[in-house]
Structure 1
Amino acid sequence: MAKESTLTASDQMQDLLLESPGFPEFLLGLATLSASMAGADGQVTCTITVERDGGLSTVASSSEEGRRLDETQYSFGEGPCLTAARHQRLVWVPDLAGDERWSAYAEAAAQEGVRSVLAVPISTDASSRASLNCYAGTTSAFNEGTVVLLEQHAASMSRVLRIALRLHGADVHPEHLRAALKSRATVDAAVSLIMLQHRGGRDGALEILRLAAKSSNRKIHVIAQNIVRGAELPALPNDRV
């Protein structure tokens, strides 16, 4: 049964890679999917860190908070996510306040409301290292079942991520695209979730958002924000959803 679930996740990732208009959008879909797997209540933020050619980058985050938390680690040069990526080993911190390995980072993360962290290595290739990072605002937010699930998820992610990194060369996340992605991150996250739910393309997911906005007389980014937080799509004319 676990094998079937893993294959399904792999199929979803391949669909994202094929249908996403760019590499950042693909990675954003992976981060959003990971967050939904790690915390059903929506209180978990997930990011994907890639280190290549000596440079660290949060290439995707399910929320802007996650990007800040990753970049806090980069500024200290240490932390659970960097350890997971660089040493390719699982880092599970049930209570960040009680962990003495990264005291400076732990204090900074606590000020951001983080209480527990789970960082899972993602196997890539000799020229790059990566990890899936999960942050929660409560202690012991991740149990053994979640750890096993996300390890399987990272293993499935590995194959697709290796292909994507090779296809996209060194320009994984150029600054101008990163800035543009930041401004529309919520909409892209919602589009990724719709694509996964309905196994359709990006154009179809965007059309669903447009129709939902039109029928409910609300802005697209408002509907997208609700979807990312766990709400279902509004009812559409002719049962198109």
Structure 2
Amino acid sequence: MQDLLLESPGFDEFLLELAVFSASQLAAPAAMMCAISVERAGRTITVASSSEGARRMDEKQYGFDDGPCLTALREGRTVLVEDLGTSERWRRYSEAVTDDDVASVLAVPIDAGADAGAALNCYARSKDAFKAATVPAVEAYAASLSRVLRLALRVHRLAFLPEGLHGALQSRAVVDAALSLVMAQTHGSREEAAVVLHEMARSNRRQLKQIATDILNGARLPGRAERDGETQQ
């Protein structure tokens, strides 16, 4: 995570890579999507997401000014929704995301310092995806994000203005396009494609957006044997 921060040209790019990295790290035993929300100066935005679906799940909460991730962020507590379809507390939100094929949600606060709030938001397509051992593991992972996130907030300007977000949106579009191409070539899931991109970025010590751009320009994907070898190292 420190390498991601040091090698990223800006805060938006750092969080984009961190969201994809988080989704790949937390994927077992069930695949999940991850997003990171930050609230600063009275405004809350999803600064990065591992997929378009995770971003939508976050942003639909902002329309209600209520939801699992906003509650985790503002109240500083973990929020677990084991079955979104039967939850009375989040019924309005559940109805709003019916078409997004998300069944359970885990939102964990991240200590972002005195001037900001943050949360790591995990979404799964199956009910009860977050088992008893999964919740403390995600909480421990979110705690490990705290130091590097507070450092990033201190040294990078968080761009809440539309013009400031332009570069981050461009980066996300490039990564999303590359993920779709990897899925088409490998016949795998989006989560598996995210792992491939992250492993390529790590092994080549390059930014995720650069790897995504290379893939869109025809770069060869590592074979399964190569990926397995990198994982074992």
Q: What's the TM-score once normalised by structure 2's chain length?
A: 0.78
Any idea what SS the aligned residue of 2:45 has? strand
**Residue type of the alignment partner of 2:47:** V
Q: Which residue of 1 aligns with 2:26?
A: 38
Q: Which residue of 2 aligns with 1:20?
A: 8
After TM superposition, the structure 1 = structure 2 runs for residues 81-92 of structure 1, keeping only pairs within 5 Å, are 81-92=69-80
Q: Which residue of 2 aligns with 1:234?
A: 223
CA distance in 1, matches of 2:91, 2:15: 30
**Residue type of the alignment partner of 2:79:** V
Per the TM alignment, residue 43 of structure 1 is displaced from its structure 2 partner at its CA by 3.3
Structure 2 contact 34–120 (Cα < 8 Å) conserved: yes
Q: Which residue of 1 aligns with 2:201?
A: 195
Task: Give percent identity, aligned residues only.
Answer: 45
Per the TM alignment, residue 38 of structure 1 is displaced from its structure 2 partner at its CA by 2.5
After TM superposition, the structure 1 = structure 2 runs for residues 74-223 of structure 1, keeping only pairs within 5 Å, are 74-171=62-159, 174-186=164-176, 187=178, 191-196=197-202, 198=203, 200-202=204-206, 206=210, 210=214, 219-220=216-217
Judged with a 3 Å threshold, the aligned counterparts in structure 2 of structure 1 residues 169 and 203 are, in CA distance, closer, same or farther, namely closer
CA distance in 2, matches of 1:171, 1:95: 34
Segment of structure 1 superposing worse, 180-189 or 106-115: 180-189
After TM superposition, the structure 1 = structure 2 runs for residues 44-59 of structure 1, keeping only pairs within 5 Å, are 44-59=32-47
Judged with a 3 Å threshold, the aligned counterparts in structure 2 of structure 1 residues 180 and 145 are, in CA distance, closer, same or farther, namely same
Judged with a 3 Å threshold, the aligned counterparts in structure 2 of structure 1 residues 221 and 120 are, in CA distance, closer, same or farther, namely farther
CA distance in 2, matches of 1:185, 1:58: 16
Any idea what SS the aligned residue of 2:46 has? strand
Structure 1 contact 191–205 (Cα < 8 Å) conserved: no
Judged with a 3 Å threshold, the aligned counterparts in structure 2 of structure 1 residues 177 and 118 are, in CA distance, closer, same or farther, namely same
Judged with a 3 Å threshold, the aligned counterparts in structure 2 of structure 1 residues 139 and 59 are, in CA distance, closer, same or farther, namely same
> Is 1:65 aligned with 2:53?
yes
CA distance in 2, matches of 1:54, 1:139: 33
Any idea what SS the aligned residue of 1:60 has? strand
Segment of structure 1 superposing worse, 144-153 or 75-84: 144-153
Per the TM alignment, residue 204 of structure 1 is displaced from its structure 2 partner at its CA by 10
Judged with a 3 Å threshold, the aligned counterparts in structure 2 of structure 1 residues 44 and 59 are, in CA distance, closer, same or farther, namely same
RMSD of aligned residue pairs (Cα, Å):
3.1
Structure 1 contact 16–192 (Cα < 8 Å) conserved: no
Structure 2 contact 73–119 (Cα < 8 Å) conserved: yes
Per the TM alignment, residue 102 of structure 1 is displaced from its structure 2 partner at its CA by 2.0
Could you list the per-position Cα deviations for residues 208-234 of structure 1 after superposition, in whole angstroms to 9, with x for gaps in the alignment?
984xx6xxxxx44897xxxxxxxx723
CA distance in 1, matches of 2:116, 2:166: 22
Per the TM alignment, residue 101 of structure 1 is displaced from its structure 2 partner at its CA by 1.2
CA distance in 2, matches of 1:35, 1:48: 11
Structure 1 contact 90–120 (Cα < 8 Å) conserved: yes
Segment of structure 1 superposing worse, 123-132 or 13-22: 13-22
**Count of aligned pairs between the two proteins:** 210
Per the TM alignment, residue 23 of structure 1 is displaced from its structure 2 partner at its CA by 1.6
CA distance in 1, matches of 2:113, 2:170: 28
Structure 2 residue runs of 5 or longer lacking an equivalent are 180-193
Structure 1 residue runs of 5 or longer lacking an equivalent are 1-12, 214-218, 224-231
Q: Which residue of 2 aligns with 1:4?
A: none
Structure 2 contact 200–211 (Cα < 8 Å) conserved: no
Structure 2 contact 11–158 (Cα < 8 Å) conserved: no
